Amino acid sequence: MSQDIVASRHRYYAWLFTALIISALAKLLRHSFLRTKPRVDVPVLNLDENTSRVAAAKQWMYNYEELLHAGYKKFKHDVYQLWTPDGFVVVLSPDFLPEIRQLPDSICDFYSGVKESLLGEYKFLDLSGVLPIVGLKKDVTSNLASTIPNFMEELLIAFPQAISVREEWRPVTVMSALERIVVPTVGRVFVGHEISRSQEYLNTQLTFNASVLTAAQKLRRTPHTFKPLVGVFLPDIWRLLNCLRDIKKLLVPVLEARLEKYKAGGKRTEDLPQVLLEGAEFESKPTPIPRQAEQALIFSFGGVAAISTALAQVLYDLAWYPTHIQPMRDEVNQIWDECDGQLTRAHLQRMVKMDSFFKESQRLNPANSTTINRYMRQDFTLSNGLKLPKGSRFCVPASQVSLDPDLWENPYEFKGFRFAELREEKPENISQMQFPTPTSHSLHFGTGRHVCPGRFLAVVQMKLLMAVLLRHYDFKLQNGETERPRNINFGPSNTPNQTAKMQFRQIRELPLPEVSPIILKG
């Protein structure tokens, strides 16, 4: 009798397992079918009867900018779509921006769009959470003036460690050096002063950043049906999960100590971890402290990636167009000498040539070719009668707007001081010529309700870093180099060369930092 019961149980579990497998396969096949069916009735630029979906996906991965250029030329004032490794994406003309920029997330979801554009279809990282973005907008940005001395302190400590040169010219790997300078500087405000300078945090952040980007690219190259299986066994995902575990070991004790201090009425710290701690008590379902630690690492990833890649492009452009270096150095030295190196936000705003160079570098070498990536939560009908149905995704071709000859004089020519000259020509439009200002002609920071919340923080840190670099170091291309280090393009992502080296030498002694006694050296 007992053997019959055991056999019956085995048959039951076998049938249950089989049913679950069949159900999962059916769901996967249904999803595969739906994703191959266009949701929007507009032309598909890279898919026709002579082009397979595999070939179209490869075009998206390796010839994305050419597709955007062809699409902008043909549909500048209209709508088309592209087949991608993750299904169809609609590309909207910038003409529709006034209609979509203020749509609520209940209709046009910013957060899902960002997840999709960064991670692709297979979500291997939890990017949920609105509180960090709100905190970045309201608290961190509003306290920028008081955090500038902290940023300068981190820069003066990190520079000689990352760029270890004296008077002799020596080769330096640009991206590696920048990341080692930017991580503790960004970390000071994103993970807190208690761990931002420790070697454990530096290693965790660098490994996490590399793992996220590499995993996203590898999964996008993987056929849709196999993404879940590949994701389980991908070493890059194992590494980033280990990093999430490590940041909790580092940051959770710090957050718990801060929470006790906060409850006791102690002095608060002006940074993102403090915002997360204090904001959690107002959430309907408070974010647990371990999850807050994860959010700090994830948002620091965004800041480090944005700042270091933008600065790498700036350095490559300066080395390729070296006549800009001395005017920018003169501007920095004049302002630095006036304030004896005690730079404020007002001083940084006077660095007009530097600001212009940043904006021109971004115009021609943006981090992403598209912007305003959104996911439709509800149907929405555009003014031309086209319906964007629930479940569809769209973007706007920002790189093509930046190269539009109807908007820019000689758009393919690099003019580092283009925007400084435009300020003089049109002083009434000065604010529109500033690097962090989004306009209808400059969309790389986004637009509308969800314009990049960290852009002011990024610009302050970029200017401080470049001010230190221009005043104390000289740099040039490697001897014998005959071209600018080439970018790495994958889909809409435009990444600066990761291994390129440049020659650096020190031209002035760095001032000694006033090391804060509350920093724990790791």
Single out the residue of 160, 181, 472 nearest to residue 308, CA to CA. Answer: 181
Angle between helices 325-339 and 455-472 (to 10 degrees): 100
Euclidean distance between CA atoms 492 and 495, whole angstroms: 10
Q: Which of 194, 217, 190 is nearest to 306 (CA)?
A: 190
Cα distances (Å, whole numbers) of residue 344 to 106, 150, 340: 40, 12, 11
Strand 493-495 to 488-490 pairing: antiparallel
Compute the residue count for the chain. 522
Two tokens, residue 271: 């940074």
Using CA atoms of 183, 189, 194, 200 in order, give the dihedral in degrees to the nearest 10: -20
Q: Is 341 left (phi over 0), alpha (psi -120 to 50) or beta?
A: left
339 is in an annotated binding site: no
CA dihedral sign, ordered 159, 162, 163, 164: positive
Rounded-to-integer distance, Cα 32 and Cα 36, Å: 6
**Phi, psi (5° rounding) for residue 57?**
-65, -40
- Is the C-alpha dihedral spanning 285, 286, 291, 295 positive or negative? positive
Q: In this structure, are residues 208 and 302 in contact, taking their beta carbons and an 8 Å threshold?
A: no
CA–CA gap between residue 318 and residue 314 (Å, rounded): 6
In sequence order, the 6+-apart residues with CB closer than 8 A to the CB of 365 are: 313, 317, 487, 494, 496
Q: What's the burial of 94, exposed, middle or buried (CB within 10 Å: 0-12/13-18/19+)?
A: buried
Structure tokens at 41: 């009735």
Question: Looking at the DSSP assignment, which residues form a beta bridge with residue 203?
Answer: none
Please state at what angle helix 325-339 crosses helix 352-364, rounded to 10 degrees: 140
R_g over Cα of the chain:
25
Beta pairing partners, 396: 371
Q: Which helix (H) or strand (E) holds 326?
A: helix 325-339
Binding-site residue ranges for heme: 452
Binding-site residue ranges: 452
